[in-house]
Amino acid sequence: MSTKKETHVFQTEVKQLLKLMIHALYSNKEIFLRELISNASDAMDKLRFESVSNDALSEGESELAIQLEFDEQAKTITLRDNGIGMTRDEVIENIGTIANSGTKKFLEKLSGDQAKDSHLIGQFGVGFYSAFIVADKVTLHTRKAGAQVEEGVQWESNGEGEFTLENLAKPTKGTEITLHLKEGMDEFLNEYRLKNIITTYSDHINFPIKMLKLLKEDSEQETESGVEWEQINKATAIWTQPKSELSDEDYASFYQTLSHDFDKPLAVMHNKVEGTLEYTSLLFLPKKAPFDLYDRDRRYGLKLYVKRVFIMDDAEHLMPAYLRFVRGVIDSNDLPLNVSREILQSNQVVDKIRSGSVKRVLDQLAKLAKDEDPTEYSEFWDAFGQVLKEGMVEDHANREKLAKLLRFSSTYDSDKAQRVSLEDYVTRMPETQEAIYYIVADNHSAALGSPHLEVFRKKGIEVLLLSDRIDEWLVAHLTDFNGKPLKSITQGDIKELVEEGEQSLSEDEIKARSDLTDKVKKALAELVSDVKMTVRLTDSPACVVSEEGGISSHMARLMEQMGQALPKPKPILELNPNHVLVKRLEAIEDSEQVKEWAMFLFEQAQLAEGDHLASPSEFIKRVNSLLSAGA
């Protein structure tokens, strides 16, 4: 063990983060105290948990508490906890490096816009480093619970690239942090200011936060040591209190401590379950998506407690992945205190807590969606809609509930931001319409511009416009809603359109059409499975359609992008007999020329679909030669 004083340099990312953070959080500088208190509370939670199996760790101290002191002369603030503490190696690992692999990505996301950045930085969890918003020197003195007094470690830094480490004896376990305040930060050397910050942000921290009581000289309340500590916060686990005694502000401040968010939560769900199973859940929906919502190794937002003892963060088994944005606490009376992640993975109690919690979240969302003020749900949908869609694939049991929560763009009003529910769609369906129609495309404008929509537009039939990456999987699992099947307008026959189209044709017309389709089919034999006269098009000459129940060309493209190319099924080519180009093709006899025209129509239909052409240069040659021949 090295005992001499050593100088270390911060990881490059830490330096970068510190600089950005100090700037972005300047207008919220008092949150440093919330962050340090939250760390102290975590450290005491950990100690309490570990001393369940190893009593010696408590070192004879019965009360776990945080102490806050300030010194006007020295211009310092000191925060002390008697929690788990850190070893020298842990100090190096935790304070001076950022383990989270998402850090780089996070730094790239920062825009320079202070308001936006401070939100992101908050969610990233600045934690300890926030001390440097107000301090130009920070001294941390810590000792791991159960270690020797001499194993104390002192860390010190001015936040500008380097820190020093030395071993310094510490009689009591836990961590003491002293902030040497910057010029102009005197506002924090004030009892009332500090008390106010504590009650605003940390009232419901599980442990007492104490400050020295200023004793009047003639005071009768002399204590043994001449000082008296006064508890500032309520120090009751918020979730154990009855709802009726909690205000929106109480919930919001707890949420903000838990999530590092600057916003208030979108919704709060606080429930106590009693009976064969006993647990309390306090869950929050955030307003905005965190930057790493799609990271694979993203942490989950739930903390697990057992009988008020903190067990673990990021308890991923308590929420399915598609609700990973939910934050909060679950406190169970039925799980053992020594529960591990492995046990959680296959445990009946956990399964029940999980399904109860999922139900609560989905019910809450349904309530928001029904609410008179639709902007709240819209904002939620913008932030988390894509993630919620994963639930349709993941959570079969709740598919019906989830389907009601989905929102889509539609041709009903083709503003992209517009959000149509399946219920809205079904309500608007004329009685004769049999299916809920949709199109999936690479992006919104591709969906909106698809030739497949032409006849639906003409007839005034609403079509849902899908363009999220997950939408192909979504519709694979969402086969019907309220008894109405969902149907892609690019696949198979559209029954209600076909019947109508056929009735209006004479025998001669049918014969003339089959001559044309035979001719084109022969010309494109290798490329298409069939050629038909279309009922879908009004303006475009041709479109491609895939088999009913087969793989859509869009899905085939997605699978290819993911490196899992499927054998591509040959599409059906549909021709618009009323289009001038199709009529021209009809008049051509020469089989070479027929082939050129047929290829040209087929290729432009593929392009409209967003497909890649086998040979774009051949296509261009063909177009140029057809145009020059015409000129």
- Number of neighbouring beta carbons within 10 Å of residue 180: 18
Fill in the per-residue mask, 173 to 192: x = in contact with ligand ADP (CB under 6 A), - = not in contact: --x-----------------
Task: Please measure the distance between the N-terminal and C-terminal CA atoms of the chain and give it in whole angstroms.
Answer: 88
C-beta of 163: minimal distance to ligand ADP in Å? 13
Q: Are 14 and 96 in contact (CB under 8 A)?
A: yes
Q: Using CB positions, name the residue nearest to ligand ADP.
A: 127
Interaction of residue 146 with ligand ADP, rule CB under 6 A? no
Between 129 and 437, CB nearer to ligand ADP: 129
Between 40 and 573, CB nearer to ligand ADP: 40
CA separation for the pair 95, 47 (Å, rounded): 19
C-beta of 371: minimal distance to ligand ADP in Å? 34
3-state SS, residue 426: helix
Q: Which residue has the tokens 């194993």?
A: 151
207: nearest Cα among 38, 7, 12, 395:
38
C-beta of 142: minimal distance to ligand ADP in Å? 6
Q: Are 313 and 299 in contact (CB under 8 A)?
A: yes
CA separation for the pair 624, 178 (Å, rounded): 77
C-beta of 288: minimal distance to ligand ADP in Å? 19
Spell out where 548-594 has E strands: 572-575
C-beta of 213: minimal distance to ligand ADP in Å? 24
- Two tokens, residue 11: 């990881």
Alpha-helix residue ranges (DSSP H) falling in 450-493: 454-459, 471-477
Interaction of residue 200 with ligand ADP, rule CB under 6 A? no
- Two tokens, residue 240: 């154990």
C-beta of 79: minimal distance to ligand ADP in Å? 8
- Number of neighbouring beta carbons within 10 Å of residue 137: 17
Between 128 and 377, CB nearer to ligand ADP: 128
Fill in the per-residue mask, 63 to 102: x = in contact with ligand ADP (CB under 6 A), - = not in contact: ------------------x-xxxx-------xx-------
Give the interface segment with ligand ADP, choosing from 35-43, 69-77, 400-408, 449-457 (CB under 6 A).
Answer: 35-43
Interaction of residue 128 with ligand ADP, rule CB under 6 A? yes
Among 69, 78, 125, 484, binds ligand ADP (CB under 6 A): 125
2: DSSP letter = -
313: nearest Cα among 125, 133, 454, 104:
125
Residues 463-482 interacting with ligand ADP (rule: CB under 6 A): none
75: DSSP letter = T
**Cα–chain center distance at 162:** 35
Question: What count of Cα atoms within 13 Å lies in the side-chain half-sphere of residue 516?
Answer: 25
Give the interface segment with ligand ADP, choosing from 22-30, 123-131, 462-470, 524-532 (CB under 6 A).
Answer: 123-131
Give the interface segment with ligand ADP, choosing from 24-32, 121-129, 419-427, 591-599 (CB under 6 A).
Answer: 121-129
Between 42 and 462, CB nearer to ligand ADP: 42
CA separation for the pair 65, 235 (Å, rounded): 10
CA separation for the pair 388, 49 (Å, rounded): 34
C-beta of 133: minimal distance to ligand ADP in Å? 13
Between 17 and 323, CB nearer to ligand ADP: 17
C-beta of 85: minimal distance to ligand ADP in Å? 6
Interaction of residue 127 with ligand ADP, rule CB under 6 A? yes
Between 57 and 405, CB nearer to ligand ADP: 57
- Two tokens, residue 243: 């709802």
Q: Are strands 76-81 and 135-143 parallel, antiparallel or unpaired?
A: unpaired
C-beta of 172: minimal distance to ligand ADP in Å? 13
Between 84 and 306, CB nearer to ligand ADP: 84
C-beta of 38: minimal distance to ligand ADP in Å? 7
C-beta of 284: minimal distance to ligand ADP in Å? 18
Q: 453-484: buried (b, 16+ CB within 10 Å) or exposed (e) per residue?
A: bbbbeeeebbbbbbbeebbbbbbebbeebeee
Tell me the site size for ligand ADP, rule CB under 6 A: 15
C-beta of 271: minimal distance to ligand ADP in Å? 27
C-beta of 76: minimal distance to ligand ADP in Å? 17
Cβ contacts of residue 133 below 8 Å, gap of 6+? 21, 22, 25, 26, 29, 31, 32
420: DSSP letter = B
Bridge partners, residue 304, by sequence: 312, 330
Between 165 and 531, CB nearer to ligand ADP: 165
Residues 207-236 interacting with ligand ADP (rule: CB under 6 A): none
CA separation for the pair 485, 476 (Å, rounded): 12
Between 314 and 468, CB nearer to ligand ADP: 314
Fill in the per-residue mask, 37 to 56: x = in contact with ligand ADP (CB under 6 A), - = not in contact: --xx--x-------------
CA separation for the pair 262, 252 (Å, rounded): 10
Between 18 and 474, CB nearer to ligand ADP: 18
Q: Which residue has the tokens 């001393």?
A: 51
Residues 376-415 interacting with ligand ADP (rule: CB under 6 A): none
Alpha-helix residue ranges (DSSP H) falling in 406-443: 422-428
Residues that bind ligand ADP (CB under 6 A): 39-40, 43, 81, 83-86, 94-95, 125, 127-129, 175
